[in-house]
Amino acid sequence: MTSPLNADHELGGARAGALALIYATSLATVLIFTYLPRHFEALGLSGAMIGTIFAARTIAQSVASPFWATLADRQDRLTATTRALLVSGVAAVAALPFVSAPLALLSVLVAYALTAGCALPLIDALTLRAAGTEGFSRLRAFGSAGFGLAALGAAALGVYHSHAEIAAMTPWALVIATALTALATLGLPKGERSRARPRPDWSHFKELWRAPLVVIFAIAALHWASQMPYNLFLVFLCEERSFPAWSPGLAVGVGIAAEIVAFAMAPRLLKRIAPLPLFALSIALTALRWFITATTTSLPVLLAAQLGHAFSYGAFYVAMMAILDRRIPREVRATGQGALYLVVFGLGGALGAGLGGVLLDVAPASRTFAAAGWLEVAALIGLLAAWRWLHRDATTFLHHP
């Protein structure tokens, strides 16, 4: 059920359309980052350097996100802050098609991370504030759709172009997608201050760092670290297996189709499975997915394994949002989202990118996926070890009024 603290029920058609478009264009950039490492390799960068660049980008984003989120909460300027970050991101990434030196590439991606890279937690906060958990799931599905369309577009390009040729297009694609996302924010209302909004009670934020939630965040960070080979090295794997150039895009498209279904079914899913068991299930099925991906030499099997993205990302994200929606008051919602991105997507993503890049220099890409599977096993063991303690605290942890 939607928490009254987190939904103001003021989601008009124009605002919903703008948020849907923002999600579609901003999430399409995730597909671009799947091909960008291959472009960097073509420029002469080693796996370790590629991993370092993407880890630095992730760390910069994870550090900056809580700052922007807290600023937006304190000023009650979520829309204005989001728009400013995206416009700045366009300026930051505009140089990407013209640079090739490692330090220049690092600088561009870090600048992008500090600006446009920090926008998604604020977009999530805007959506949760306006529509609650159920409305969030529906609008967030448009992001999955944008990601899926980008993946299918990459697959179509693969019919006529090689892996390397598609990767070479990604700098311009990132500039265009970021610019479209910035333009979409113009559809959001100018006046965003809530007439009845209470003053923030920052003592609420200490709830975020209660021991049970910290454990969940740490395990979620390991789970997200295991996603990095899929996010960064899928093209390398397809080349290793001599799969056609359209296969990475189609593999991602299959995963996104499954993710959309997961988001669409989120309200029903949460009625049947509590967030904590749903989180555990996503970890277990993701481990299986990575082991299959690492070992199969059959393209149909590889594609079928990506249906697991419904749990790897869809169910996982829904579970995390449900936990936050029940734990974090709306007046510090963006700050809570920023903390989630800091620990899980920031630190976890940096860990996965760094380790994956180093491994890519000494082993085939398939080994990075096998390592991801074992990382999920470690996360699952950690969760099961803490299960009785977390379950004992579940009444207050998952059902906070």
Buried b / exposed e across 35-50, counting CB within 10 Å, b at 16+?
bbbbbbbeeebebebb
CA separation for the pair 86, 116 (Å, rounded): 4
Instruction: Tell me the domain boundaries of the chain.
Output: 13-190+204-397
**Closest C-alpha to 120, from 6, 11, 199, 23:** 23
Q: Where are the alpha helices (DSSP H) in 328-393?
A: 333-340, 348-362, 365-385, 387-392
What torsion do the CA atoms of 111, 114, 120, 122 make, to the nearest 10 degrees? Answer: -140
Integer Cα distance of 36 and 52 in angstroms:
14
Helices H / strands E in the chain, number of each? 21, 0
**Architecture category of domain 13-190+204-397 in CATH:** Up-down Bundle (1.20)
Q: How many CB atoms lie within 10 A of CB 154?
A: 27
**What token pair was written down for 218?**
């740490």
Distance CA 335, CA 391 (A): 26
Q: Please report, for residues 37, 263, 285, the alpha-carbon distance to residue 23 in angstroms, rounded to integers and kept in the order given.
A: 23, 13, 26
What pLDDT score does 151 carry? 86
pLDDT confidence of residue 124? 80
What's the predicted TM-score (pTM) here?
Answer: 0.77
Enter the DSSP assignment of 6.
Answer: S
CA angle (1 as vertex; 256, 263 as ends), nearest 5: 5
pLDDT of residue 333: 62
Identify whether the C-beta of residue 227 lies closer than 8 Å to the C-beta of residue 313.
yes
Low-confidence ranges of the chain (pLDDT < 70): 1-14, 130, 132-134, 189-213, 325-338, 391-401
